[in-house]
Amino acid sequence: LDKVKIGLYLSKGPKEKYPFISEVLTEFCKLFSFEGLSFSEALRMFLSTFRLPGEAQCIDRLMESFASRLFEVQLVQLLGHRLEQTQSVEKAMLEPPRDNTDCDSVNANERVGALDPPALTHQPVLPFKNADAAYILSFSTIMLNTDLHNPNMKEERRMTLEQFIRNNRGINDGADLPVEFLTSLYQEIKNDEIKMKADLDDIIMQKGMENVDSDVQFDGFLSKASDVAAPFFTAANSAREITMAGIHERDMFLSISSAAVQAMAGVFVESWDDALVIKALDGLYNASQI
């Protein structure tokens, strides 16, 4: 399935207008088991399954569902750890007494600590007190990822660790998230960008493409093909009439021809989707006939 269309479909809203799609999004999130993953690992896994839409409301619906599922998994994991601890304590209490007639020979410290509850073997990975904290941090992490890896931003203007921690104060039900947790998250995003599929606009607007030799470009096409997101096209099978262009049509073509040819060339150069390549070639051919 096309990841662009998946993201657009799942994020469609509002819930009152599209209740079925909202249920689909909820069930989609239930497919993810985030147990044992760090926050950034869970977010990467979730975002790798679709292309994140550009509209804030669409992102809001996706991140809200992600946060709800993540917090649900955290609660199940925490309850499982507590149940394991309780069972361990009960087992220790039900064990038969030691076969030792001389109680005085038993070390006093050993007697005192005999029924102490065992330590948790697994500590919860995530520190959220509610789903809202995970939701806010999801947005904050996406903003951090864009800020740290935007090639157009100057280094001195990028978000620092101190700023990231300050921006997320009080989001955990009025309390702060652990500094160690936020520091680890910041370093993970800084060292490993959360990469998403590129739009066609990202390819066309890529700087320096016109100055690169075509043979060099062609050598890198295959490696870039998986990053290309297919755009939507309207039907192109309508009847066409060959007419003589007037003065207005001529001026309009001259004003848009350069950008149009560049756009179609970008599709032809970067896409390995046969349908898109055929459309691009058809467009370039028609432009050459005018």
Which amino acids are annotated catalytic? 55
Structure tokens at 178: 């652990």
Do residues 127 and 181 make contact, with C-beta atoms less than 8 angstroms apart?
A: yes
Q: Are 183 and 165 in contact (CB under 8 A)?
A: yes
Other C-beta atoms lying within 10 Å of the C-beta of residue 153: 13
Within 8 A by CB and 6+ apart from 251, the residues are none
Q: What is the DSSP letter of 238?
A: S
Q: Decide if 132 contacts 67 (C-beta within 8 A).
A: yes
Beta carbons of 60 and 14 less than 8 angstroms apart: no
Residues near 45 by Cβ (< 8 Å), separated by ≥ 6?
32, 34, 37
In this structure, what is the dihedral angle of CA atoms 227, 231, 237, 238, given to the nearest 10 degrees?
-160
CB 78 within 8 A of CB 85: no
Ramachandran region, residue 266 (left: φ > 0; alpha: ψ -120 to 50; beta: rest): alpha
Cα-based distances in Å from 131 to 25, 37, 44, 63, 216: 16, 16, 18, 10, 48
